[in-house]
Amino acid sequence: MSRSALLDKLRRLARPEKAPGLPESLPDFPTYADPVAQFRNEVERVSGIFLDARAESGVEKALNSILATQGPCEIYWESEDVFLRHQIPYRLRNLEAFAQGHLIYSSHPNPDVKLPLLLLSKPSSRADLAAMSVSATSAECGIAETGTVVEKAGTGRGRAQAVLAPAHVTFLREQDLFMNHADFFAQFQPGMDSSYAVLVTGPSRTADIEKTLVLGVHGPQRWYAVLTR
Amino acid sequence: MIDIRRNSRKALADSQLQKNLLLTLSKTMAARNQVVAEVDNWEALRTHAQTVKAHTVANLGKYLETLESRVIAQGGQVLWADDAREAVDYLLDIARRYSATKVVKSKSMLGEEIHLNHELERANIASIETDLGEYIVQLADETPSHIVMPALHKSREQVADLFAEKLGMERTEDVERITLTARQVLRQHFLTAQMGISGVNFAVAETGSIVVVENEGNARLSVSLPPVHVAIMGIEKVIPRTEDLCVFLKLLTRNATGQKISTYVNFVNGGRRDDERDGPRDFYLIILDNGRSQILKDEYLSQTLHCIRCGACLDTCPVYQSIGGHAYISTYQGPIGAILTPQLLSMDEAREHPFASSLCGACHDICPVKIEIPHILLKLRDQAQRESGGKASKISAERIILQIWSWFMQSASRYRQASWVARRLQPLFIRTGKRFPVGPLRAWSEKREIPQLATKSFREMFVAEEGEK
- Residue B235 near residue B291, CB atoms below 8 Å: no
Among A16, A123, A196, beta carbon nearest to B59: A16
Instruction: Find the Cα–Cα–Cα–Cα dihedral B78, B84, B90, B93, rounded to 10°.
Output: 170
Closest to B146 measured CA to CA, from B284, B21, B235, B304: B21
Chain A hits for B277, CB-CB cut-off 8 Å, are 122-124, 153, 156-158, 161
Q: What is the ipTM of this complex?
A: 0.90
Q: How many angstroms separate the CA of residue B469 from the nearest CA in chain A? A: 53
Chain B hits for A129, CB-CB cut-off 8 Å, are 278
CB contact under 8 Å between A19 and B55, yes or no, is: yes
Longest dimension (CA), chain B: 92
Among A26, A160, A202, beta carbon nearest to B278: A160
C-alpha B135/C-alpha B242 separation (Å) is 32
- pLDDT tens for B13-24 read 999 999 999 999
C-alpha B369/C-alpha B49 separation (Å) is 6
CB contact under 8 Å between B277 and A184, yes or no, is: no
Residue of B264, B284, B290 to mutate when probing chain A, most A C-beta within 10 A: B264
C-alpha A137/C-alpha A156 separation (Å) is 12
CB contact under 8 Å between B24 and A211, yes or no, is: yes
User: What confidence score (pLDDT) does residue A61 get?
Assistant: 82
CB contact under 8 Å between B263 and A203, yes or no, is: yes
Among B151, B190, B249, beta carbon nearest to A208: B151
| A to B CB pairs, distance under 8 Å | 280
User: What confidence score (pLDDT) does residue B51 get?
Assistant: 98
- pLDDT tens for B301-328 read 999 999 999 999 999 999 999 999 999 9
C-alpha B261/C-alpha A29 separation (Å) is 14
Task: Flag residues of chain A having pLDDT under 50.
Answer: 91-94, 97-111, 113-123
- pLDDT tens for B13-67 read 999 999 999 999 999 999 999 999 999 999 999 999 999 999 999 999 999 999 9
Cα separation of the two ends of chain A: 56
C-alpha B361/C-alpha A173 separation (Å) is 47
With H, G, I as helix, E, B as strand and everything else as coil, classify residue A197: strand
CB contact under 8 Å between A22 and B52, yes or no, is: yes
CB contact under 8 Å between B20 and A210, yes or no, is: yes
Measured in degrees and rounded to the nearest 5, phi and psi for residue B282 equal: -125, 150
Chain B hits for A20, CB-CB cut-off 8 Å, are 51, 54-55
- Residue B254: closest C-alpha in chain A: A146
Cβ atoms within 10 A of the Cβ of B130, count? 30
C-alpha B324/C-alpha B147 separation (Å) is 11
CB contact under 8 Å between B159 and A209, yes or no, is: yes
Would you give per-residue pLDDT tens digits along chain B (469 residues)? 888 989 999 999 999 999 999 999 999 999 999 999 999 999 999 999 999 999 999 999 999 999 999 999 999 999 999 999 999 999 999 999 999 999 999 999 999 999 999 999 999 999 999 999 999 999 999 999 999 999 999 999 999 999 999 999 999 999 999 999 999 999 999 999 999 999 999 999 999 999 999 999 999 999 999 999 999 999 999 999 999 999 999 999 999 999 999 999 999 999 999 988 889 999 999 999 999 999 999 999 999 999 999 999 999 999 999 999 999 999 999 999 999 999 999 888 899 999 999 999 999 999 999 999 999 999 999 999 888 776 554 556 777 888 888 999 999 899 888 888 888 887 776 655 556 666 666 776 766 766 778 888 888 888 888 876 5
CB contact under 8 Å between A198 and B265, yes or no, is: yes
Q: How many angstroms separate the CA of residue A95 from the nearest CA in chain B? A: 20
CB contact under 8 Å between B132 and A208, yes or no, is: yes
- Residue B173: closest C-alpha in chain A: A209
Q: How many angstroms separate the CA of residue B221 from the nearest CA in chain A? A: 6
C-alpha A190/C-alpha A181 separation (Å) is 14
C-alpha B67/C-alpha B65 separation (Å) is 5
C-alpha A29/C-alpha A27 separation (Å) is 7
Residue of B69, B251, B276 to mutate when probing chain A, most A C-beta within 10 A: B276
How far is residue B400 CA from its own chain's centroid? 34
CB contact under 8 Å between B52 and A23, yes or no, is: yes
